[in-house]
Amino acid sequence: MKVAIYSRGLDPEQEVQLLTLLEELRRYQIKACLHKSLVGPHSAVRMLPADFSMFSRSEDLDSSFDFIISLGGDGTMLDTATLVRNKRIPVMGINFGRLGFLASIGKDELATAVEALANGRYVTEKRTLLHLNASIPLFGDAPFALNEFAIHKRDFSPMVRIHTYLNGEFLNSFWADGLIVSTPTGSTGYNMSCNGPILFPDCCSFVITPIAPHNLNVRPIVIPDNNIISFEVEGRAEEFICTMDSRREIVEKDVQLAIKKEDFEVLLVVLSENSFLSTLREKLTWGFDKRNK
């Protein structure tokens, strides 16, 4: 078995946990390939025998990899998705961050996680992505998002008006600071912060959620994910911001944009004890009211 390990970078305490992970992988004779960000001249990884390889780009991940392990928070998981792309390499997220809806396995569960990989005691969940079509090239060779696509007004410019269409039929003109189109996976992210609904990961739906809408009767709407959502943006400013997960582009307002379901999915590794419901209860502290004690 062979796994890739990705992180944006680790602090000294987390490097110790990386060493623990590598030792556990070696115990089960699982080969490790580390992203270049983890193997610097002062990295603690240098304390181990040089029996690991390195990778730096998505192109380095071929069919020989059985898994990729993401060390960090949900933002690191989103980066990992841009590395995996359509390769169908299952992603296991170890939470070195804070909230951790995507990276739901705790850093104190490293031994359990590796044992689960080695013995096949896990399930994989298919997660839908969004694909952006635009009249100009945007987001390089990765115009897709696991969490959300969003349109924002720039800095301190006035609100924008976003004319929105479903399969070419007019839906609404949103007077707002912006608009979010979220996948079920992203429904617990920016969408939730803007009072959008939480969707189960296997829902075949997207959520359209306005950001600070001017009209009080405008609410988030859940739509089937087989719709193509297109936009025309108006505003006093000549430019606005487009984001896909944590990546952003400055776009002129005459650029045409459309969102659809991506042709491929990302596979997430889930341990049997880490269900979506248990993650919701833990991360949102549902059912932990002190009055229940």
- Which tens digits make up the pLDDT trace of 156-192? 778 999 999 999 999 999 999 999 999 999 999 999 9
Where do the domains of the chain lie?
Answer: 2-127+265-292, 130-261
For residue 65, is pLDDT > 60? yes
For residue 293, is pLDDT > 60? no
Half-sphere exposure of 16 (CA within 13 A, CB side): 3
Cα–Cα separations (whole angstroms), residue 216 to 69, 176, 208, 211 = 43, 11, 16, 12
Task: Give 108-128 pLDDT, tens digit per residue.
Answer: 889 999 999 999 989 999 999
State how far the Cα of 142 lies from the Cα of 270, in Å rounded to an integer. Answer: 25
Q: How far is CA 23 from the centre of its chain?
A: 28
List the single range of 55-64, 118-127, 128-137, 270-279 with lowest mean pLDDT.
270-279
List the single range of 52-56, 58-62, 252-256 with lowest mean pLDDT.
52-56
Examine the residue annotation and report whether 74 is marked as an active-site residue of this protein. yes
Q: Are 40 and 15 in contact (CB under 8 A)?
A: no
Q: Residue 134's closest CA among 143, 125, 126, 142?
A: 143
Task: Give 149-159 pLDDT, tens digit per residue.
Answer: 999 998 877 89
Catalytic residue among 62, 74, 263, 289: 74
pLDDT for the residue 224: 98
Q: What's the pTM?
A: 0.90
Architecture in CATH of 2-127+265-292: 3-Layer(aba) Sandwich (3.40)
pLDDT for the residue 155: 81
As a CATH number, domain 130-261 is 2.60.200.30
pLDDT for the residue 229: 98
